Amino acid sequence: MPHQLTRGFGGAVLTVVLFLLAGALAGAVWWWAWEAPSGMVRDGRWYPQPWDVGQQADFAGQAWYVVVAAVTGLLGGALATLGRARGELLTLGSVLLGSVAGGVVMRLVGQALAAEDPHVLARTADDGARLSGTLHLAGPVWWLAMPFGALLAVAVVFLLLAPPVLRLADTQAG
């Protein structure tokens, strides 16, 4: 029994570590998939040029985050669950913890690879200077994307691979 418990916790730690690595890779994919808008400085403020294209690029950056994070969560959740025959609660907990941490790492890596915040740079830049936009996420909802994908995968795998309990109960009753 202690050996099984140790092996279960080892698998849980491995799941969290793999989600952290997947989050770092996903952050690079997020940065790569997004096209930064260009903009100009006027009166110490940065404005995307043209405005509507800049706004679309801003939304696209957030949309790409959700897509890449959800796919990463789906793959990570499925792989973590397929690798375990038992310990459903430990698997669920490690996938949840790992996917939340992986989502944070994804955000940090993507933003680290992107250009500096043009709003900060514009404060000291000359009028007419051209600056590139950067990746950012608005609101606190972004962190749900990777856990949602991961937990969806866990639920599907658990349901598909669940032992046929109902059939066993039917044969014993008859």
pLDDT tens digits in sequence order for the chain, 174 residues long: 444 445 578 888 999 999 999 999 999 999 999 888 877 888 888 787 877 777 777 778 888 999 999 999 999 999 999 877 667 889 999 999 999 999 999 999 999 998 787 778 878 878 777 877 788 888 877 889 999 999 999 999 988 876 665 555 555 555
Length of the chain in terms of residues written? 174
Domain borders along the chain are 10-162
Measured distance CA(111)–CA(137) in Å, rounded: 9
Instruction: Yes or no: say if 162 and 85 are a contact pair by the CB < 8 Å rule.
Output: no
pLDDT of residue 102: 97
* Distinct helix (H) and strand (E) counts, the chain: 6, 3
Classify strands 45-48 and 130-132 as parallel, antiparallel or unpaired: unpaired
- pTM score of the predicted model: 0.81
Instruction: Yes or no: say if 124 and 138 are a contact pair by the CB < 8 Å rule.
Output: no
